[in-house]
Structure 1
Amino acid sequence: MEENQKPKAAALDALVALVDSDMQGVNRTIVERMQSPVALIPQLAGHIVAAGGKRLRPLLTLSAAKLCGYRGDRHVKLATCVEFIHTATLLHDDVVDESELRRGRQSANAVWGNQASVLVGDFLFSRAFELMVEDGNLKVLAILSRASSVIAEGEVAQLITTNDTDTDEAAYLEVIKGKTAELFAAACEVGAVVAGRPEAEERAMRDYGMALGIAFQLVDDYLDYSAKQEALGKTVGDDFREGKLTLPVILAFQRGSDEEKTFWRRCLEDLEQTPDDLPHAMALMQKHGSLTETLERARFYGEQARRALDAFPDAPVKTALRDIVDFCIERAY
Structure 2
Amino acid sequence: MTVASAVRTARPKGSIEPILNVTADDMGRVNEMILAMAGSNVELIPEIAEHLISSGGKRLRPMLTIASALAHGYRGEGHVKLAASVEFMHTATLLHDDVVDESDMRRGKQTARMIWGNQASVLVGDFLLGQAFKMMVEVGSLTALAILSAASAVIAEGEVWQLAAAKRMTTSEADYLAVIDAKTAALFSAAAEVGPVIAGAGEDARTAMRDYGRNLGLAFQLVDDALDYGGSAATLGKNTGDDFREGKVTLPVIVAFERGDDRERAFWRRALEDGENGEDALAEAMALIRRREALAETIARAHHYGSLARAAGETLPGGAAREALLSVVDFCIERIS
Question: What range is the shorter-chain TM-score in?
Answer: over 0.9
User: Could you say which residue in structure 2 is the equivalent of 1:70?
Assistant: 74
Letter paired with 2:273? E
User: Could you say which residue in structure 1 is the equivalent of 2:37?
Assistant: 33
| The 10-residue stretch of structure 1 (274-283 or 139-148) with the greater mean CA deviation from structure 2 | 274-283
Q: Tell me if structure 2 keeps the 8 A contact 1:11–1:323.
A: yes
Shift of residue 274 of structure 1? Answer: 4.1
Q: Does 1:235 align with 2:239?
A: yes
Shift of residue 96 of structure 1? Answer: 0.7
Q: Distance in 2 between matches of 1:85 and 1:75?
A: 15
User: Could you say which residue in structure 2 is the equivalent of 1:58?
Assistant: 62
Q: Distance in 1 between matches of 2:289 and 2:245?
A: 16
Secondary structure of the residue aligned to 1:314 is coil
Letter paired with 1:155? E
Q: Distance in 2 between matches of 1:227 and 1:144?
A: 32
Give runs of aligned pairs for residues 155-304 of structure 1, distance below 5 A.
155-230=159-234, 232-304=236-308
Q: Tell me if structure 1 keeps the 8 A contact 2:228–2:236.
A: no
User: Could you say which residue in structure 1 is the equivalent of 2:107?
Assistant: 103
Secondary structure of the residue aligned to 1:331 is helix
Shift of residue 275 of structure 1? Answer: 3.1
User: Could you say which residue in structure 2 is the equivalent of 1:85?
Assistant: 89
Out of 11, 20, 23, the position equivalent to 2:27 is 23
Cα 1:301/1:231, change in 2 over 3 Å: closer
Letter paired with 1:78? L
Q: Tell me if structure 2 keeps the 8 A contact 1:87–1:121.
A: yes
Q: Which runs of 5+ in 1 are unaligned?
A: 1-6
Cα 1:147/1:321, change in 2 over 3 Å: same
Q: Tell me if structure 2 keeps the 8 A contact 1:105–1:233.
A: no
Q: Distance in 2 between matches of 1:286 and 1:232?
A: 19
Shift of residue 102 of structure 1? Answer: 1.0
Q: Tell me if structure 1 keeps the 8 A contact 2:230–2:295.
A: no
Letter paired with 2:152? S
Letter paired with 1:276? D
User: Could you say which residue in structure 2 is the equivalent of 1:14?
Assistant: 18
Shift of residue 282 of structure 1? Answer: 1.1
Shift of residue 231 of structure 1? Answer: 5.3
| The 10-residue stretch of structure 1 (130-139 or 210-219) with the greater mean CA deviation from structure 2 | 130-139
Shift of residue 134 of structure 1? Answer: 1.1
Letter paired with 2:103? S
Q: Tell me if structure 2 keeps the 8 A contact 1:104–1:232.
A: no
Out of 320, 325, 332, the position equivalent to 2:329 is 325
| The 10-residue stretch of structure 1 (276-285 or 138-147) with the greater mean CA deviation from structure 2 | 276-285
Cα 1:332/1:17, change in 2 over 3 Å: same
Number of aligned positions between the proteins: 327
Alpha-carbon RMSD: 1.4
TM-score by length of 2: 0.94
Q: Distance in 2 between matches of 1:222 and 1:21?
A: 34
Q: Distance in 1 between matches of 2:211 and 2:32?
A: 29
Q: Tell me if structure 2 keeps the 8 A contact 1:153–1:179.
A: yes
